[in-house]
Structure 1
Amino acid sequence: MSKVLLVHAKGGPPLGHVLSRAAARADVHLLALSALPPAVAGPAGRLCASVVTPADALREDADAHREDLVSLIVARARDVGADAVLTFSEYAVVAVAEACAALGLAGAGDAAALARDKRLMRHTWRRHGLPQPEFRPVATETDLYAAARDLPGPLLLKAAWSAGSTAHQIIRSPHEVAGAWARSRAVMAESAQLGYAELHVAEADADFVVEQIVTGSGAGWFDEPGWGDYVSVEGVVADGTFHPVCLSGRMPTVEPFTERASITPALLAGDAQERIVDLARRAVDALGLRDCGTHTEIKLGADGSMWLIETAARFGGAMTVPQIEEVFGLDLVGMLVDQLLRRPVAWPARALTPARAHGAAGSLVVLAVDGRGRAWRDRKVWDFPAASADIPLSRGSRLSVVAESSLADGQVVPVYDPAAGANTMAALCLLSATDARTVLGDFETLVDELPRVLPAARPEEVPA
């Protein structure tokens, strides 16, 4: 049986989902660069031919011939005789791509950094004349002051190598520059301590980009209110050719731009979906990727306008991959493993539409803010049984919690920090329903009802 080295780090689809699908296609050797979620540690031992833990990786990294992450991955791949190497984590994409190139294996290719570093990505798209917000790369507070003078506001400061909406700061006037700069840098340092940071590029937490905030609008794209003003095109690049899979819709973000929910499929008319997919195709083609999943986010505006937000050289995170499997019956993890092993794969000829969907599914990030983005009045304790029992959902809807991405029941829900984004989430919930409208409506109910049904935290439980 073919052998696959799976490099695990923070982020991406749930590891349990990935392992079970990959192990059905090949012998999986797991190289864990971050701690395994407790719910997955047991199954990993049964599903994998070998498991190297973070402590093991550090000991190996101390060897002279394994002085960096790429060398570590290459050495481990050779040790196990891997026929393919892959990762589903944003933070390991570049290292894995470089390791695959060194091993002569299929992978994202030399252009992987273009789909990771937001500065390089935007410069590439500018050269190709693709629609995107005006931007400036910034490396110092002085750079940020200059950009604030040059670009029409408001502006959004982003870490060039971040993910999960972390370190985002809105700048409405030049006097906010110093505070935004200090806060974004602090959040990136905090994220690195939590394991949510680029693993291969030295001092990546010092790289930033600032861009103009464009005015989005879901009106004219969706037939009903409640949808966010951006979508994502899920796809894959196989032998250099982009294959769109489907589109996912969103609820409105929480300020500044923290994602609250993803819903599959996005309820778009056929002609609108085709226009969006065409822009995603041009964005991915411009980056020159070879063999990898893709996740392209696109901002929607009035009168049919669109702007590229970003493209990643991996599948969408959170529950995007399981949602697609449930709704469209596609095992994207298994299909990508086959692609990297050079087996024939029947990728969709065109992006799948809502008419092809069997029901709908969505994932909700639980944040301590209401539907208008206002902080909960009181501190609460996460209690999924209470939420699932006491919040009325639509007939036929099924709600579950993603244990490996959620607090344990009884833990205090963090205060939402706009700069930290998803780092302050309490839980990740999956909802399955008859259609996407129902998912959206049930999520709105959940957001409204959670602060009512969750138990209040006792004073002694609240962190100082």
Structure 2
Amino acid sequence: MKNIIYVNVLGGPPFQYVLSKLTKEVNVWVVQTEDIAEAELNDLKSLINHLVMPEDIPNNVSLITFLSDLAREISAEAIITFDEFHLDEVSQVNDKLGLKGPGSSVTNSLRKDVMYTFFEKHGLLNRKFFASSNPTEVLNHHIDFPYLIKPSNCAGSLGISLINNQEEADDLESILGKTTQLIEETIDTMPYKSHLKSQPLIKEGMLVGDSSCWFGENSPYADYISVEGVVINGTYHPVAITQNLPMIYPFTETVSMSPCTLSVDKQKLIVDKIKPCIESLGLDYCGTHTEIKLLANNEIAIIESAARFAGWSIIPQIEASFGVDIISEYMDIVYNKESQIKSDFFNTLENKKAYSATISLLPADEHSQPWKEQIVYRQAPDLTSVIAPSSTCQFTPYIMENDVIYPMSEMSGAWNSFGKVFLVAEDEETLLSDIESIRKNLKTLIS
């Protein structure tokens, strides 16, 4: 039986979902580089036979060396991760051992300041930007209002600030200091990542979207979508488009939904435009998650593109909505069982089976207005009491009973989330109604 190594951390699809696919035909050795909650640890142990915990990795050995030695010891045929922060190490080990992975150009899909140069060459950046590791240079470089300040190598909207006018810009030095402090504090919780503390900051013009141009007037949907796909031997294959509900100000994502309700022509326009750009990044074998801003006049801009499958439950959404098991299809290629991906983007569009969503549980109401006070998480919510009888849902908490849920922090992005709900409904109207009901009643149900 084949052996593979899966580096499991916070990012990417739920590990329970991933491992249910990986363990069908192979022995999976999970390398857990960070501490994990007891309930999740029990889930992990129930799914696999080989688990490497953080304390099992010698302090004086780099993660690259450890993974390389383990791979040789067990004759691993694949080393994979879907976590943003470990793609670089895993790619280096794969290259070193001649295994399939994102490849030596993976930095092009990790560093935003690097990937922006590729977007710009393909006419898909559509904003000015400046990047520097020197905060003073970022402070002094002129970008028209409104503009963003963001780290170049983070995820989950961590550390992003929106500067709308001169009054807010007068406080920019303080904002840069808070951004740097937040990045450093977050990275302190991540083993092997101290080098990211010195990452460049980016100052960039804010993209102004137009959801009505794409979805129509009075649509509930946000002006950004994501395209989920894979790269196989350098060729990009889009799989499905995910749409979203509006963010909580300024950039905290709330709800992702499948299938996308844009017309087939509009979806084709998007994937045709981004395909050559994604392929120019020089990736070899990997999942992709490409975030797109929908602009006026049927124009688009790429916000960012990661060399990994999407997080939350977006990949399970694709399977629930279309019957496409993209993890297994990708792994068949990694194992050399198949040479090409089976799922075709346009066939996928015609095979809608259900409507599904991931709701990020945030301290905010159904209108994305933040709660004004902290509350204590008392119990897992009975969500079946507030959704349609025909719908199903799965609740995953990130906290323990009696933990405190604090009010929203604008710069913390996805780190504000205290759990998620994976929801499946029979039609679009029911899905939207269920989402609103869960968000409206959440505070009462958990306290």
Give the TM interval when normalised to the shorter protein.
over 0.9
In 2, Cα distance between equivalents of 1:272 and 1:436: 19
Matches of 1:305 and 1:201 in 2, distance apart? 39
C-alpha separation in 1, matches of 2:372 and 2:382: 18
Q: CA deviation at 1:453?
A: 4.2
Quote the residue 2:359 is aligned against. Answer: 364
2:421 aligned partner: 429
> What's the CA shift for 1:80?
1.4
Question: How far apart in 2 are the matches of 1:379 and 1:184?
Answer: 23
Residues 310, 451 of structure 1: alpha-carbon distance in 2 compared, 3 angstrom cutoff: same
1:8 maps to amino acid? N
Relative to structure 1, the CA distance from residue 35 to residue 334 in structure 2 (aligned partners, 3 Å threshold; closer, same or farther) is: farther
1:415 aligned to 394, 401, 407, which one? 407
Match of 1:211 among 204, 208, 226: 204
SS at 2:253's partner residue? coil
Quote how far apart the aligned CAs of 1:305 are.
1.7
What is the letter of the counterpart of residue 24 of structure 1?
K
In the other structure, the counterpart of 2:376 is 381
Q: 1:180 to 1:283 in 2, by over 3 A?
A: farther
Cross-structure match for 1:184: 179
Q: 1:453 and 1:201 mapped to 2: Cα distance?
A: 39
Which consecutive residues of structure 1, in runs of 5 or more, have no partner in the other structure?
456-464
> How far 1:72 sits from its partner (Å)?
2.0
More moved, 356-365 vs 40-49? 40-49
Distance in 2 between the 1:304 and 1:112 partners?
Answer: 30
**How many equivalent residue pairs?**
442
1:387 Cα deviation after fit: 4.8
Q: Deviation digits for residues 295-341 of structure 1, max 9, x if unmatched?
A: 00000022212111000000000111111122222222222222211
Distance apart, 1:140 and its partner CA: 2.0
> Which residues of 2 match residues 60-459 of structure 1 at below 5 A?
61-62=59-60, 66=61, 68-147=62-141, 149=142, 151-172=143-164, 173=166, 174-195=169-190, 199=192, 202-223=195-216, 225-344=219-338, 345-351=340-346, 354-382=349-377, 385-388=380-383, 390=385, 392-403=386-397, 406-455=398-447
> C-alpha distance in 2, partners of 1:37/1:328?
32
Is this contact kept in 2: 1:155–1:171, CA < 8 A?
Answer: yes
TM-score (norm 1): 0.90
Q: Please tell me whether the aligned partners of residues 265 and 357 of structure 1 are also in contact (alpha carbons under 8 angstroms).
A: yes
TM-superposed CA distance for 1:47, in Å, is 3.5
**Secondary structure of 1:220's aligned partner:** helix
Give the Cα–Cα distance (whole angstroms) in 2 for the partners of residues 141 and 39 of structure 1.
41
SS in 2 for 1:342: coil
1:88 is displaced (CA, Å) by 1.0
Q: Which amino acid aligns with 1:16?
A: Q
Instruction: Provide the C-alpha distance between the structure 2 equivalents of 1:160 and 1:441, rounded to a whole number of angstroms.
Output: 37
State how far apart, in whole Å, the 2-side matches of 1:337 and 1:35 are. 27
* Distance of 2:330 and 2:12 partners within structure 1: 14
Gapped runs of 5+ residues in structure 2?
none
Does the alignment pair 1:17 with 2:17? yes
SS of the residue corresponding to residue 170 of structure 2 reads: helix
CA distance in 1, matches of 2:432, 2:42: 34
Contact 1:92 1:200 in 2 (8 A): no
Q: Separation in 2 of the partners of 1:201 and 1:288? A: 26
Distance 1:36 1:81 in 2: 27
Aligned partner of residue 31 in structure 2, secondary structure: strand
Contact 1:244–1:351 (CA<8 Å) still a contact in 2?
no
The one-letter code sitting in structure 1 at the alignment partner of 2:5 is: L
| Residue 31 of structure 2: aligned partner | 31
Deviation per CA, 1:141-191, whole angstroms, max 9, x where unpaired?
2122223x2x21111111111101110111223313112201111211221
Confirm or deny that 1:3 pairs with 2:7.
no
Per the alignment, in what secondary structure is the counterpart of residue 148 of structure 2?
A: strand
Residues 439 and 107 from structure 1, CA distance in 2 versus in 1: closer, same or farther, beyond 3 angstroms? same
Per-residue CA distance 1:110-168 (angstroms, 9 max, x = gap): 11011001011112222343343221112222122223x2x211111111111011101
| TM-score (norm: length of structure 2) | 0.93
Q: CA deviation at 1:25?
A: 3.0
Which amino acid in structure 2 is aligned with residue 407 of structure 1?
A: I
Identity, % of aligned pairs? 27
| Separation of aligned partners in 2, 1:2 and 1:343 | 12
